[in-house]
Structures are given as structure tokens and as C-alpha cells.
Structure 1
Amino acid sequence: MYRSLALFLSAGLLGCSPAPDSVDNADWQAPYPAQYDSWLSTETDTEQQDELARRPAMVVLWAGSSFAKSYNTPRGHRFAVADVTHTLRTGVPPSGPDDKGYSASCWTCKTPDAPRLMAEMGEQAFAASQFTSLGMEMSNTVGCADCHKPGSEALQLARPHARHAMEKIHLPFDQQDGAMQGAQTCGQCHVTYYFQPEANNKVNIPWIFGSTADEIERYYDTRRFYEWLHPISRTPMLKARHPDFETWSRSPHAKAGATCIDCHMPQREDGNGHAYTDHNVGQALDNFELTCAGCHDSKGALSATLAQNKARIEAARDSVETLLVQAHYDAKAAWDAGAEWAQMDSPLMDIRHAQWRWDFAVASHGIHAHNPEEGLALLAVAQRQATMARAKLALLHQQLGVTEVTYPDLSSKAAAQEAVGMDMARFETEKAAFIRDVVAPKWPAAAMRGAPH
């Protein structure tokens, strides 16, 4: 039996002053000191890995999108503003009238200042703004008002797109119990989404048909939507973004009533004996006795199971990534030999669908713990689809007289970026100048926290 989030919250508020009517994190310190201090300690979560360096094949898979420039593992919530500011994916201010830059929607899940501005400006006006033009407004990293109503300890979905999405899958927020509401507050950001082009790049969660990879793919396919055309294969591509809420919602954990809060925000006691929820959102295993021991007998056995799940998923994704890189270049060889769209439509759709399922599986943080069965199933289908794409292209090569296909050097991130024609020196120089001349002297301190690379 899992603890009730509602009980967590009521226990944690004993003796507290009223909640501030503010989105500023600092204003919540006095009424909720234990919660605030634990949230503040996410600043110690500094570890970060360069995933493109670890897996250069992803540069090729994401060629033509900003994800091929930079893709690091996330740090603690205190670094959310800094990391989105410094990543090469959000670029620099537009250089001229033909350069639109990146949408302010990139701020949506990084700060409670984003929903504040949406309320002031309107969702579409916010999204239509340029990312760098609103940097001066982003003083607060992910924090209190993201999940709690200003002026109240009650939970909320601060982001309009999340409220709409939960209604699409028949989970309206105000009709859920405290445990599900807690999961939904995490799910407003730990979820896949896209920028809706017909609504000024407003964030939208594609759950019209449901939240599985198949149902979201159907949503995109029926709209003929794609995020970019792959420059190597000309495939109309889709991008999954950390679909953690989706994969959790179908997991054994969810069926047992275990939510994000139970596993990642354990209950503790402050110095006065009052219970509170730990807001240093961390690894569940680090707090095994508080989070996992209710269902798992041994930390060692659980760790071994998780390691085995992770190894199986890593092996499966290795295979799929290799096949997808080859498929993109097989398609290029066919185009170079004079293939027509009518000949390419079927294999390109296989590539699109295979890479979507691969991405849905691997973009979900911790899927080896949250729902390894779904991750492995998605990768198995992706393997079949990528294999089918290559088989169709091999037949087309025979018709077109293609006898050899050249595949890229994947020995390093730099080699892969060079292979797909990325001018990384320019991107890095422009970003460094922007950080030095604009962000460091003019933006709020949150943008420079931790000096991210």
C-alpha cells in the first residue's frame, strides 16, 4: 500500500505560514523551510553526460534538427534555466528578418515564470515570442509554483497545455485523488510534446487518440505532421521528448499505485518531528528504505534487476541505431541514383516509424526502471521496421544499379557531426559570444548557475 500524497502534504504543512501568492521560489522559503531546503539541494545534482559523445549515431539520426548539436543528460531542477540557456539547441538571437530563431516555448517547462508570462501575454503570444527575447524574465528555476497554487499549498497544473492534455486522456486534474495529481504535476513536464505550427509554436501534447507510441504516431500521421526533413534520407521526421508520464502510466508501478512522488520524493521528518515531502527529486535507489522497501525485499536484488533491464535495453538500442543510420544512408544512395518519391514513400515511412519508436523508448528517462517491458517492445518493433526499410531499399538499389553504399564515420561525435555537414565551430562561437555579451551581464543569475558547458 503506497502512501497518499494528500497525507504527505497535510502532514508537511503543520505549523506552516500561509503559502505566498508568488511564483518566486524564494518567497516560499519562510512558510515551507524543510521543503525549500530540500529543493535547494538539487543544486548538488551536477552530474551531466554528453549523450552525443556517448552515442555518435544519434547525431546522424537527428541530423537536420537542433538535437544533433547538443544533447546532455539533465541536471537538478536548480539548473533548468541555465541548461536551456546554454545548450546549442536554443541558438542565439535572430541575425536578420529571415531568421526566426527559436520559440519562447523552449522556456515552458524550465521555470514558473513561463506560465506566469503565458497568463499575462496569452499562450500564443508567448509562444510567438523569440526564446532569447524573454530571457530577462526567467529568474526562477523549476520550483514551488510549478506544482503548487500561489497562495495555497494545493497542487496545480500550472501549464495550460498539460491541463488540456489530461482531459484528452480522461484524467481531468480536479477529479483525481492526491496521488494522481502529484503524478500529473510531474507529468506536465516529464511528457512528450511538440510545438504546434498552426498556433505560433505553442506547446501541445499529442494525446487526441491516446498516449501510446502507436496512438501518438497515428495523430502525427493523420495530420501529415513532421518536425524536419532529414537531410540525408529526406524522411519527414518525428521527435519524442522524454515520455515519462506516458510510459509510467502503463507500468506495473502505476498499476500498484506507485507514483513519481512515492519513488522520487520520499517522506522525511524535519527537526520538529513534522513530516514533509523531500523535494530533492533524486534516484529512488538512493533512498531504498523509504521508497522501494515496501515492495522490494532487497536493494541488491533490485539493483541487479535494474542493471539487467538496462543492459537489455542498451543492447537493443545499439542494434536499432546501427540499422537506422544505415537506412538513412541507403535512402541517400537511392536518391542519388535517381529514385522517385513514389518509389521512396514506403521505405521512408518505415524509417520514420522505426525512429519514432526508438526515440519514444530511449528518450524516456529511466525506462529500464519505469517500464522496461514497453521499452523493449518498442525497440523490437523499431528493429523490424528499420530492417524492412533496408530490405525495400536494397531491392530499389538493384533496380537503380546501386552497388555500394557509403556509411558515415561514427567513431566520435565530432566525426558524425562533420559527416552530416554541421558547422559546429560557428554554432559554438556564436553561442559563446551570446553568453558572454548578453546572458552573463544582463540576464538573471539563474541563467549562469553552475557554468554549464
Structure 2
Amino acid sequence: MGKYKLLFAISIIAIGLMTALLASINEKKEEKEQLQKVPQIERWETKNEEFRKFYPREYDSWKQTKESDAIEDMLKKYPELVVLWAGYGFAKDYNAPRGHFYAVEDNRNTLRTGAPTDENTGPMPTACWTCKSPDVPRIMKKDGDEEYYTGKWAKYGSDIINPIGCVDCHNPETMELQVNRNYLNEGLKAEGHSVTLENATQQDLRTMVCAQCHVEYYFKKTPLTNGKTAMAVTLPWAEGTKVEDMEKYYDNINFSDWVHPISKTPMLKAQHPGYEMWKTGAHGKNNVSCVDCHMPYTQEGGVKYTDHKIGNPLDSMDKTCMNCHRVSEKSLLDNIKEKRDRKDELQAKAIKLLSDAHFEAGKAWEVGATEEEMKPILTNIRHAQWRWDFAVASHPAFFHAPEETLRVLGTAIEKAGNARIELARVLAKHGAADYKAPQITDKKQAQELTGLSLDKSIEEKKKFQNGLMQDWKKEAQEKGVYNPESTKGIETKTSY
């Protein structure tokens, strides 16, 4: 009798387990079917948290970009950068990029954007918002690109409020990948690229949605028929996308971002040409997209989704690198470290040469050098710093395109060296052969040597943060484009 009771009990347990399994399978099936349905979201809904209702896994993984919150002061790490960027905003404040979650936060807080007191003040144009928020393409659609590019940065302070997110890359009505900034397509056409947005494949778009921001650009001064002037984001690709091509483009139009106050060099500031460098490397040449490595597929139960914690692929190598590479993780990591070390070595040499060249050029002017003597020297300084900056501003270039990174840094060192050789001759000719450029020891010393005082800028910035910036948030909430809960508890972090 006990035997039958035991069999009966086992049967009941087995039936219960089967029922639970079937329920789980049905639940997952229903969930998958629900996920495959495209919910009705307004075309220009830019509050990222609204997407969580329909895409909880994608949103929650995106929210993890909040974890990359540390401030790394690059001017403290490389104080010579203050000299290289003397007279330009980056000499005041430059930190390593943080997670996408902080894009708007960091743009408002950096000293580079100044301390506006109303919508018509502040040093920067509206174009400085362009890659920071899904609210930008919303405004471009509403006001038109030309109007968006007019006026000061503070003009849209209460409209551009949500950090990089869903609408930057997706059309909410279909959730298809979509580039929402027209200048990328204009740049592709200017380059003569065989792939434009009109014929791009899904795999192409998995890179292009990133390329709309991770590129080199400049603000092209464009007079409008209504009398206003637009500072339009423009990609300098008409001559090509290599460092020499864009250098030629800028030289041809006699463009400079600023004139260096010490060396008097008309300078170029590279932005973040990640896409251009990626194209030259093994991944780019084999059409391994940005998303393949930075947003790998993740399996959770019966659901497969794209991980939106956009960050370092080395944090999840089993989902990224190991899909293609048939070597050990240790072997890959050792290889990557070697590439980084080589880049760091050449980068440090280039920075030191450029810092010395700026000071030596300043001394040459002081002792009576002529414009004819200095012109080829300044050209070498301009090209050397542009190439150094291009190689390192595309932050992971040592990984995306290690050979090209070293090549570009090598030409930067060569040109900076040539400038210093010529400067030695000019200094000797004018009786200053014994001049030695000051050795940079720290950020504060570098800022003092270049005549930069930040006390007033910091005071004004804090006043802005406690005043107008708070007004922007209130106005954005009243407009319905901002949910203060989305940034609740965020600690303001700066390097000043």
C-alpha cells in the first residue's frame, strides 16, 4: 500500500512540475509575442523612461550607463594639455567621457559652456547640444535645422533636457533603427560614399546610428536669408575621411577653431572621430558594427534582446569578442594592453613636443621672428597637433584601428619635431639659442603659465547651476518633456 502512495505522490509532483513548466513556457511565449508587437509611442517622445513600459530590459540596461559616473580630470592626468589648448575652452575643463546617462548633465556643468544668464548669453552656440539628447532631433523637426543652429546654447536650455537615449537611434512608431540628424547623410554624400541613408542595410545602420555623433565635425558659419547666422554642424568629408583628407579640407577653406595665444598658430580641435578611425581598422573593413561589440545580444530565459549598457566590450567578452575570436580571453587582453601601451607611449611624446613647440614659438615671436620665418613652423604645429588630437580624441582608436593610430601619432611626432628644429634655427638667428621651454609639472602651474585664471568662471558657473539651470528644469517639467524622477539623486560631479 505504501508503494502505491509513494507512486501517487510522485505522480502528483510530476504533474505539478509539468503544469508549472507549461505555464512558464506559455508565459514566455506570451511575453515574446508581446515584445514583438510595436507599441504606440508618440514619434517625438524623448523621455527615455516612457519606453520602459514596453521595453523594460532594454531600458534597464541603458540605465546602467549611469554606473559610469566617475570624473577623470584629463588636464590633471596630462597637464601639458592646458598648454596645447591655451586660449580654448578645453584648457579650462576636460574630463574623460562618462556614460550616456550623463550627456546633458556634463554639458551643462562643464566650464566650456560658460554661465549664461538668459537665452541670449553664453559663449557657445546651440550646436553644442547636437549630440547630447534625443530632444535635439525633436527640435530640429519642429523648428527646422537652420533655426535650430541659430542663437546661443542657452536658447534651448529648457527644451534639451533628456540624455542620449531611445529616440536618438529608433523611430518610436516602428522601433526601426533611424539616423535622426541630417548632417551625417550630407557628409556621406559629400565624401562620395557608396552607402548613404537611402540604401543603408540594417547592419550599416547598426554603425550609422553611432556615427551620427561619434565623428569629426565643425560648426560652419552659414548666413541665412532671414538675416540670422547658423552655426551648422558639418562633417569635413569632402576630401575624404582620413586625417590628411580632413586636414586638407580645413586648410583649403582656411578654417581654424582658435588662434593659440602663445605660438599664434591657427589651431584645429579634433572632436571624436571614432567612426572615421573605425573604418580603417580590421573591424571596420569587415563591417563589424558598433552594436555588435558595444551592445551585444543577451539571453534572459526565452527572451533575446540587445544590451543597451553601451560601454566597454571587454566587460562582457563572452558575448562580444569570443563570438569571433578563437583564442583565450587572456591572450586577447594581453594583446589589447600592448596596443594601448604603444599608443600611450607615442601620445606622451607628441604632447611633450607640442607643448615645447608652442612655448618656443612664443619666444621666437618675442625676440623678433618674422611672419615669413614662422609660417612653415606654424603650419607644422597646426598639423602636428591636429593629428595627435585626431588619434586620441577618437578614444578607443588604439583598439579599433591600432595601426592607423600609431601611424597618425608617428606623423604628429614627425611634424612637431620638424617645427622644433626650425624653431631652434630661428631662435639662434635672433640671439635666443639658449631658450628652454618651461617644464610642465601640474594643471595649476600650466594654467598660470598660460595666463588662465578660473576663479571667476567657477563662481559664475555655480551661480548658473543654482539659478538659471534650475529654472530650465522647472520649465521643461511644465512643458511635459522632463520627468524629474528620471534624475533624482544624481550627484553633481566636476573637476573644478
TM bin, normalised by shorter chain, reads: over 0.9
Aligned-pair CA distance for 1:15: 4.5
Task: Supply the AA of the counterpart residue of 2:262.
Answer: I
1:268 partner SS = strand
Bigger CA radius of gyration: 2
Quick one: distance in 1 between partners of 2:382 and 2:165? Answer: 36
1:186 alignment partner in structure 2: 210
Match for 2:67 among 40, 44, 61? 44
% identical equivalent positions: 37
Match for 2:310 among 281, 285, 300? 281
Aligned-pair CA distance for 1:413: 0.9
Aligned-pair CA distance for 1:26: 2.5
Check 1:69–1:17 CA distance in 2 against 1; reply closer, same or farther (3 A cut).
same
Match for 1:126 among 133, 148, 151? 148
Q: Within 5 Å, which residues of 2 pair with 1:26-37?
A: 26-37=49-60
Tell me the TM-score normalised to structure 2 length: 0.85
1:141 partner SS = coil
1:392 alignment partner in structure 2: 422
1:58 alignment partner in structure 2: 81
- Long gaps (5+) in structure 1: 1-9
1:146 alignment partner in structure 2: 168
Quick one: distance in 2 between partners of 1:413 and 1:12? Answer: 55
Match for 2:409 among 373, 379, 384? 379
Quick one: distance in 1 between partners of 2:42 and 2:300? Answer: 21
RMSD: 2.1
2:12 alignment partner in structure 1: none
Aligned-pair CA distance for 1:28: 1.8
Quick one: distance in 2 between partners of 1:11 and 1:103? Answer: 46
Q: Within 5 Å, which residues of 2 pair with 1:93-242?
A: 93=116, 101-169=123-191, 170=193, 171-198=195-222, 200-242=230-272
Quick one: distance in 1 between partners of 2:406 and 2:334? Answer: 18
Per-residue deviation, residues 281-308 of structure 1 (Å, max 9, x unmatched): 0111111111001232211111111111
Aligned-pair CA distance for 1:330: 1.1
Q: Within 5 Å, which residues of 2 pair with 1:70-85?
A: 70-85=93-108
Contact 1:186–1:260 (CA<8 Å) still a contact in 2? Answer: yes
Per-residue deviation, residues 111-159 of structure 1 (Å, max 9, x unmatched): 0111111222222322222112311112311011100113121111111
Quick one: distance in 2 between partners of 1:155 and 1:128? Answer: 28
Quick one: distance in 1 between partners of 2:139 and 2:39? Answer: 27
Contact 1:56–1:416 (CA<8 Å) still a contact in 2? Answer: yes
Quick one: distance in 2 between partners of 1:133 and 1:404? Answer: 51
Contact 2:297–2:319 (CA<8 Å) still a contact in 1? Answer: yes
> Which sits farther off after the overlay, 349-358 or 420-429?
420-429
1:110 partner SS = coil
Contact 2:39–2:173 (CA<8 Å) still a contact in 1? Answer: no
Q: How many residues align?
A: 442
Quick one: distance in 2 between partners of 1:114 and 1:39? Answer: 19
Quick one: distance in 2 between partners of 1:436 and 1:94? Answer: 11
Task: Supply the AA of the counterpart residue of 1:194.
Answer: Y
Aligned-pair CA distance for 1:95: 9.0
- Long gaps (5+) in structure 2: 1-31, 224-229, 477-483
1:197 partner SS = strand
> Which sits farther off after the overlay, 344-353 or 26-35?
26-35
Task: Supply the AA of the counterpart residue of 1:165.
Answer: G
Quick one: distance in 2 between partners of 1:48 and 1:96? Answer: 28
Check 1:96–1:109 CA distance in 2 against 1; reply closer, same or farther (3 A cut).
closer
Aligned-pair CA distance for 1:31: 2.2
Quick one: distance in 1 between partners of 2:458 and 2:268? Answer: 26
Check 1:407–1:72 CA distance in 2 against 1; reply closer, same or farther (3 A cut).
same
Quick one: distance in 2 between partners of 1:258 and 1:196? Answer: 32
2:370 alignment partner in structure 1: 340
Check 1:124–1:404 CA distance in 2 against 1; reply closer, same or farther (3 A cut).
farther
> Which sits farther off after the overlay, 323-332 or 157-166?
157-166
Check 1:11–1:208 CA distance in 2 against 1; reply closer, same or farther (3 A cut).
farther
Quick one: distance in 2 between partners of 1:393 and 1:367? Answer: 31
2:263 partner SS = coil
1:257 alignment partner in structure 2: 287
Per-residue deviation, residues 209-236 of structure 1 (Å, max 9, x unmatched): 1111000001000001001000010000
